[in-house]
Amino acid sequence: MKNKFSDKTIIVTGGARGIGHGIASAFAEAGAHVIICSRSAPEAFAPDIAERISHISLDIRAPEAAQQLVDFAIEETGRLDCLINNAGGGPPVASAGASPRLTESVIKLNLLAPIYLSQAAYNTMRAKNINGSIVNISSVSATRSSPGSVAYGAAKAGLLNVTTSLAMEWAPDVRVNAVIVGLVETDASQDHYGGKKGMEYLASQLPMQRMGRPSDIAKACLFLADPDSEYVSGACLEVFGGGEPPSFLRITSDASKLGS
């Protein structure tokens, strides 16, 4: 894969840390010029790839930020080959008490921003006669119930529909795909999942006996963005190591023990 993207420009939103940082690093290692955006300064990249990564400070929830980001990519490299809509997230909150402001913010970040960015990227790619691609980073929250994160789950589910709809509407000019991400270990994971012991327990309950890594998601993005994957569009690729064990297995097991 090294140097396979040497003449390509890739935008990775939220590329400053976590999964986005891993995706940006993988594309830079493959030779691409990577444009990342975030509201804060990015974590350091490896010295051998840092010169191929450009950063712009933007809040992509603002509709005008989409065109600003794409314009920055064109100013830096003169082209745009792939957009990775990675930025996302949302704090857990009881649904009955979620404020309209929080709900709107989560929807803007996880659904509206990717739509605006995809529009800006598509129009630029077509203006430059580039048959590029868009990769949307979704979540298992899109495909199962998400109590405590309703707006986030709904937005990520909507993003899957955006993916399949745009793949049909924009073919054959621009391919659009999604990655459905499971539990991934990042620097922020320990605080979220109860520290080292919590992480170890969580990993032991998963089919692959480990959480995902940013590099796992990055490899999926490399595949989907690869021009050789020219017939892959509208795909929603699950990268979750076999999935989350369904709770009914534990419930039925516990119920059977009660009757013995």
The residues annotated as belonging to the active site are 152
What are the structure tokens assigned to 204, written together?
């032991």
The count of other CB atoms within 10 Å of the CB of residue 225 is 27
What burial letters (b/e) apply to 115-145, b meaning 16+ CB within 10 Å?
bbbbebbbebbeeeebebbbbbbbbbbbbee
CA dihedral 143, 147, 149, 155 (to 10 degrees): 30
Hey, what amino acid is at 43? E
Q: How many Cα atoms are found within 13 Å in the side-chain-facing hemisphere of 158?
A: 16
Cα 37 from Cα 73, distance rounded (Å) = 10
Cα 134 from Cα 118, distance rounded (Å) = 7
Cα 197 from Cα 190, distance rounded (Å) = 9
